[in-house]
Amino acid sequence: MTVTPETIAVARKWLAQDPDPDSKAALEALIAGAEAGDAAAGAELTDAFSGMLEFGTAGLRGKLGAGPNRMNRLMVAYAAAGVGAYLKQLALFGNVLIGYDARHKSAEFARETAEIIGGLGFHSMLTTEPTPTPVVAFGIKHLHCNAAIVVTASHNPPQDSGYKVYLNDGMQIIPPHDERIAAGLLRTSKKPLFMLHRSTDHHMIGDELVTAYLERIARVVGNAGPRDLTWVHTALHGVGASVVRRVADRLGFAAPIEVAEQAEPDPDFPTVAFPNPEEPGAMDLAMALASERGADLIVANDPDADRCAVAIPDGLGGWRMVHGDELGVLLGDYLARRGIEGVYATTIVSGSMLARIAAAHGQPSALTLTGFKWIARVPGLAYGYEEALGYCCDPDTVADKDGISAAALVLAMAAEEKAAGRTLADRLDQLALEHGVHLSDQISVRVEDLSLITVAMARLRAQPPAELCGEPVDVVDYAEGVDGLPVTDAIQLRGETVTATVRPSGTEAKLKCYFETRVSPEVTARDLAGSKAEAAGMMARLKEDVQAALGL
Please name the residue ranges forming H helices in 397-520. Answer: 403-419, 424-435, 451-462
CA distances from 507 to 178, 370, 501, 511 (A): 15, 12, 17, 11
Mean of the pLDDT values across residues 170-198? Answer: 93
Query: Using an 8 Å Cβ cutoff, are 164 and 98 in contact?
Result: no
Mean pLDDT (the chain) is 95
Q: Residue 541, class by beta-carbon neighbours within 10 Å (0-12 exposed, 13-18 middle, 19+ buried)?
A: middle
Q: What is the pLDDT of residues 424-483, one digit of tens each?
A: 999 999 999 999 999 999 998 888 788 888 888 999 999 999 999 999 999 999 999 899
pLDDT at res. 543: 96
CA 56, 60, 64, 68 dihedral sign is: positive
Query: Using an 8 Å Cβ cutoff, are 309 and 299 in contact?
Result: yes
Query: Using an 8 Å Cβ cutoff, are 334 and 391 in contact?
Result: no
Nearest CA among 432, 434, 221 for reference residue 340? 221
Mean of the pLDDT values across residues 129-137? Answer: 98
pLDDT band at 353; cut points 50, 70, 90: very high
pLDDT at res. 56: 67
Q: How far apart are the first and last CA of the chain?
A: 29
Region of poorest pLDDT, from 37-46, 356-365, 444-453: 444-453
Let me know the angle formed at the C-alpha of 472 by 468 and 475, rounded to the nearest 5 degrees: 85
Domains of the chain: 1-50 (no CATH), 70-209 (3.40.120.10), 228-432 (3.40.120.10), 436-550 (3.30.310.50)
Q: What is the pLDDT of residues 499-531, one digit of tens each?
A: 999 999 866 778 999 999 999 999 999 999 999
Query: Using an 8 Å Cβ cutoff, are 406 and 394 in contact?
Result: no
Q: What is the pLDDT of residues 212-243, one digit of tens each?
A: 999 999 999 998 999 999 999 999 999 999 99
CA distances from 163 to 110, 260, 427, 486 (A): 9, 29, 38, 23
pLDDT band at 552; cut points 50, 70, 90: low
pLDDT at res. 551: 79
What is the identity of the amino acid at 474?
A: D
Nearest CA among 522, 502, 520 for reference residue 512? 502
Q: Higher-confidence residue: 447 or 245?
A: 245
CA distances from 192 to 9, 74, 122, 188, 197 (A): 16, 10, 21, 9, 11
Element (H, E) at 165: strand 160-167
CA 297, 302, 308, 312 dihedral sign is: negative
pLDDT at res. 44: 96
Mean of the pLDDT values across residues 153-175? Answer: 95
pLDDT at res. 54: 85
CA distances from 30 to 18, 53, 75, 457 (A): 14, 19, 19, 35
Let me know the angle formed at the C-alpha of 397 by 394 and 403, rounded to the nearest 5 degrees: 55
Mean of the pLDDT values across residues 336-364? Answer: 98
Query: Using an 8 Å Cβ cutoff, are 363 and 343 in contact?
Result: yes
pLDDT at res. 451: 82
Let me know the angle formed at the C-alpha of 204 by 149 and 173, rounded to the nearest 5 degrees: 10
Mean of the pLDDT values across residues 324-337? Answer: 98
Using the predicted structure, report yes or no on whether residue 165 has a pLDDT greater than 90: yes
pLDDT at res. 57: 62
Q: Higher-confidence residue: 55 or 90?
A: 90
Share of the chain above pLDDT 90, in %: 92
pLDDT at res. 509: 77
- Helix, strand counts (H, E) of the chain: 19, 22
Catalytic residue (one of 154, 350, 405, 440): 154
pLDDT at res. 1: 65
Using the predicted structure, report yes or no on whether residue 59 has a pLDDT greater than 90: no
Element (H, E) at 99: strand 95-100
Label the pairing between strands 160-167 and 59-63: antiparallel
d(CA 249, CA 266): 24
| 379: three-class secondary structure by DSSP | coil
pLDDT at res. 252: 98
538-543 contact pairs (CB < 8 A, 24+): 538/439, 538/469, 538/497, 538/498, 539/439, 539/441, 539/515, 541/469, 542/468, 542/469, 542/498, 542/500, 542/515, 542/517, 543/441, 543/443, 543/513, 543/515
Residues 6+ apart with CB under 8 A from 232: 256, 257, 258, 259, 286, 289, 290, 293, 295, 297, 298, 299
d(CA 164, CA 147): 11
Label the pairing between strands 467-468 and 437-446: unpaired
CA distances from 324 to 90, 307, 440, 506 (A): 37, 10, 9, 18
d(CA 466, CA 284): 40
Query: Is 154 assigned a catalytic role?
Result: yes
pLDDT band at 160; cut points 50, 70, 90: very high
Half-sphere exposure of 163 (CA within 13 A, CB side): 34
Query: Using an 8 Å Cβ cutoff, are 408 and 251 in contact?
Result: yes
d(CA 62, CA 347): 25
d(CA 298, CA 244): 13
Mean of the pLDDT values across residues 121-143? Answer: 98
d(CA 294, CA 191): 60
d(CA 46, CA 35): 12
Share of the chain above pLDDT 70, in %: 99
